[in-house]
Structure 1
Amino acid sequence: MTTVVGLSDRYANFLVHPLMSGPGVCQICRGTANAGYPSCRQCQQTGNVLGTGVADVVVPVSLALKGEQYANELWRYKNAAGPQQMYFRTGLAAVLWRFLALHEGCVAAHCAVPGFDIVTTAPSTSGRENHPLRTITAEMVEVTRDRYRDLLAPAPDAAVLGRNPSRSRYTSAALWGENVLVIDDTWTSGNHAQSASAALKAAGARSVAVVVLGRHLNNSYGDTATLVEQARLRRFSWDMCALRPWHHG
């Protein structure tokens, strides 16, 4: 019988734990930060635009390195067809399920909330209908599907905003102090996820956290290769806490 553990085990061969925030590591997205700065330039700029609307915490499951297996699967689960499409979607659903089952409590504790009342995803602003991440989160993953709600809708001019963060990229259904967990697939600039957070908070969310399947990085950019080399020193373990340097299970 196929299990979540069985489906997700192979990912431990190529997932890479993001480094803990610190010198040279962005405290928000876990990408590279310039010396003397707590956050990368992109996260700083996004914070300047969105202010307190940004997520209370961003937790990448793994780095997704350009040209490598995990980044490839995060592309193919959206763009492959037929049996390959289902293969990659099922695998990534198992990754998300296993990660949240082990670590969602830590994410909630970091936000100083007892748990997340609602789980949602940010809809595409490029015209893609029936986004597979929604299918994964709302239908395939047991620990999220009963809490899933379609809260967000792209604004009519969302596509014009490009990759820029904006409080008006999305509108949200009204909230009454609920804590919301946003699931994202690939974080490059983070502007879509952070814009979604801003919309949710403006609609009344008490706390918003983002769990992202892959923090996309390009080894050829700046000091990224050094960061990745350091990250690879720590062998991937499903029990490694996403927010603290210890194991739990």
Structure 2
Amino acid sequence: MASVVGLSARYANFLVHPLLAGPGVCQTCRGPATLGYPACWPCQQAATTLGAGVADVVVPISLALKGGQYANELWRYKNAQGPQKQHFSMGLAAVLWRFLAAHETCISEGCAVPRFDTVTTVPSTSGRTTHPLRGMVAGIVGPTRARYRDLLTPVPDAATLGRTASPARYTSVGLWGSDILLIDDTWTTGNHAQSASAALKAAGANSVAVVVLGRHLNIAYGDTATHVEQARLRRFSWDVCALRHWTHN
């Protein structure tokens, strides 16, 4: 049987570490930001709309470049059929498993909490009845499956809210001070994940950290190609800290 290390090994050939927050890099999602601004436009808008409801920490595992291998796999694990769907689901589950095993402690420290007692996923608002991400996080990934709970439900008209951040997109069961690790597969604007964070906090969550498999970027847009070129200067390693300039050895 293939191991987590074995299944995830090939991803080191095309995963790209997000740049750390700083000039020209959004402090929230780590995508491109206009110089002089701490966050990109979607993240600024989400913060304005949701206030303290936004996630305390957002950690993308890798950039997912439009037309690239990783972005393709993030699409195919949801839309392929049969053995192909299983292949990509198992590979991405191994990526998430290996990443959390190495870095979840730093993420909880970033939220100033000792650990996340509950893990959940961002539900689909597209009418998909069973989302493969839930199956991965609840049933496959070792660091998350024992802590998984179904917490979030889209409101009936969630799809009509479009891509905007909204505190009314989801509802959550009561949480009473829990610290939540919220998993999503792809971050484009981040408005679904941030709306989910707002629902969790409105239900009583103490803190919310978002881990996203891929930060989607289109290198044909604006200065994104330069941003990606800078990110690619650092070779991908599973030991590189997701939040700080050091490695975990």
TM-score by length of 2: 0.99
Q: Indicate whether 1:52 and 2:48 are aligned.
A: no
Matched with 1:65 is: 65
In the TM superposition, what is the alpha-carbon distance from 1:156 to its structure 2 partner?
Answer: 1.3
Q: Per-residue CA shift, 1:138-184, capped at 9, x if unaligned?
A: 00101100000000000111111011110000000001101000000
Q: Per-residue CA shift, 1:73-130, capped at 9, x if unaligned?
A: 0000000001000000000000000000000000000110000000001111110011
Map 1:34-183 onto structure 2 (within 5 A).
Answer: 34-183=34-183
Query: Superposition RMSD on alpha carbons, in Å?
Result: 0.5
Matched with 2:190 is: 190
Q: Secondary structure at the match of 1:230?
A: helix
Q: Secondary structure at the match of 1:62?
A: strand
Amino acid at match of 1:74: L
In the TM superposition, what is the alpha-carbon distance from 1:35 to its structure 2 partner?
Answer: 1.1
Matched with 1:206 is: 206
Structure 1 runs (4+) deviating above 2 angstroms are none
Quote the Cα distance in structure 1 between the aligned partners of 2:74 and 2:160: 25
TM-score by length of 1: 0.99
Amino acid at match of 1:244: R
Quote the Cα distance in structure 1 between the aligned partners of 2:112 and 2:87: 36
Quote the Cα distance in structure 2 between the aligned partners of 1:24 and 1:62: 18
Map 1:212-231 onto structure 2 (within 5 A).
Answer: 212-231=212-231
Matched with 1:7 is: 7
Quote the Cα distance in structure 1 between the aligned partners of 2:122 and 2:5: 27
Quote the Cα distance in structure 1 between the aligned partners of 2:116 and 2:122: 16
Q: Per-residue CA shift, 1:187-244, capped at 9, x if unaligned?
A: 0000000000000000000000000000000001011000000000000000000000
Quote the Cα distance in structure 1 between the aligned partners of 2:150 and 2:173: 8
In the TM superposition, what is the alpha-carbon distance from 1:57 to its structure 2 partner?
Answer: 0.5
Quote the Cα distance in structure 2 between the aligned partners of 1:62 and 1:14: 9
Quote the Cα distance in structure 1 between the aligned partners of 2:157 and 2:51: 21
In the TM superposition, what is the alpha-carbon distance from 1:18 to its structure 2 partner?
Answer: 0.2
Q: Secondary structure at the match of 2:133?
A: helix
Matched with 1:21 is: 21
In the TM superposition, what is the alpha-carbon distance from 1:21 to its structure 2 partner?
Answer: 0.4
Amino acid at match of 2:25: V
Q: Which runs of 5+ in 2 are unaligned?
A: none
Q: Secondary structure at the match of 2:129?
A: coil
Amino acid at match of 1:106: C
In the TM superposition, what is the alpha-carbon distance from 1:33 to its structure 2 partner?
Answer: 0.4
In the TM superposition, what is the alpha-carbon distance from 1:7 to its structure 2 partner?
Answer: 0.4
Amino acid at match of 1:70: Y
Matched with 2:237 is: 237
Quote the Cα distance in structure 1 between the aligned partners of 2:31 and 2:233: 16
Amino acid at match of 1:39: A
Amino acid at match of 1:60: P
